[in-house]
């Protein structure tokens, strides 16, 4: 990894996205990070680009900023939403809410990946799509979010087959102590879950080893 290597990481305002951004900048990466509530001036290797990843102009700005900043070597599609809280059964799932979940968790990451691919191909870069065990296991109440993440895993799988010059990993970080998981279990104590920072060493090791594309557990 060269000092001018740049990563785009979405959803760095809090939780896992913030932890990933901090871990990468500590390793010498420049991180172009986005978030709907993101504020502040560039510092410690982080170039903040506030905005919503579902907006096409914002996605274009993320890639443009990354290319102006350095060599785009990594895209981490981390931004996501849970959907309704408490989470409803599929029999009662509001379809408008499901469309929002799919737009944020599936459509936006694919759209951003499409924009980033030319630069990633050029330098043999990588895409990390943050997934969930809800993508592969049947948890009552997780149908909307789980269906979106299952689709993310399959688009990652196909992308890996179509893009031999790019590493594609779909990464399951497990159940972490984040605001999203607090929303998933309203009223429950989730203090026993590990903090997001506990999984970033596994991500850094993934970037160092560069194994074949595939599903990984952080």
Residues 124 and 100: beta-carbon distance below 8 Å: no
Angle subtended at Cα 85 by Cα 79 and Cα 87, rounded to the nearest 5 degrees: 100
Q: Any catalytic annotation for residue 165?
A: no
Q: What is the DSSP string of 68-104?
A: HHSEEEEEEE------SSSPPPGGG--HHHHHHHHII
**Set 5, 93, 149, 213: catalytic member:** 149
**Set 5, 13, 93, 132: catalytic member:** 132
Distance CA 41, CA 74 (A): 22
Q: Which helix (H) or strand (E) holds 179?
A: helix 179-184
**Set 131, 165, 191, 213: catalytic member:** 131
User: The tokens 């379809």 sit on which residue?
Assistant: 95
Q: Which residues contact 145 (CB under 8 A, 6 or more apart)?
A: 82, 83, 87, 101, 105, 132, 134
Residue 157 token pair: 């799988």
**Set 145, 156, 191, 213: catalytic member:** 145
Q: Any catalytic annotation for residue 93?
A: no
Q: Any catalytic annotation for residue 131?
A: yes
Residues that are catalytic: 131-132, 145, 149
């Amino acid at each position: 990894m060269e000092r001018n290597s740049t990563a785009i990481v979405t959803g760095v305002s809090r939780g896992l996205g913030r932890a990933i951004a901090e871990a990468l900048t500590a390793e010498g990466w420049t991180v172009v990070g986005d978030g709907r509530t993101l504020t502040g001036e560039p510092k410690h290797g982080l170039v903040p680009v506030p905005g919503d990843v579902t907006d096409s102009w914002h996605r274009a700005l993320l890639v443009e900023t990354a290319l102006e900043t350095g060599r785009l070597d990594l895209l981490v599609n981390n931004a996501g939403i849970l959907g309704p809280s408490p989470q409803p059964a599929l029999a009662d799932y509001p379809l408008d809410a499901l469309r929002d979940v799919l737009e944020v968790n599936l459509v936006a990451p694919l759209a951003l990946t499409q924009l980033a691919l030319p630069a990633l191909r050029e330098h043999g870069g990588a895409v990390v799509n943050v997934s969930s065990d809800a993508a592969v296991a049947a948890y009552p109440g997780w149908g909307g979010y789980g269906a979106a993440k299952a689709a993310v895993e399959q688009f990652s799988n196909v992308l890996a087959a179509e893009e031999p010059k790019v590493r594609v990993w779909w990464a399951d970080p497990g159940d972490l102590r984040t605001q999203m998981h607090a929303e998933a279990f309203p009223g429950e104590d989730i203090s026993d879950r590990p903090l997001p920072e506990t999984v970033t060493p596994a991500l850094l090791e993934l970037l160092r080893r560069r194994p074949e594309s595939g599903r990984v557990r952080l």
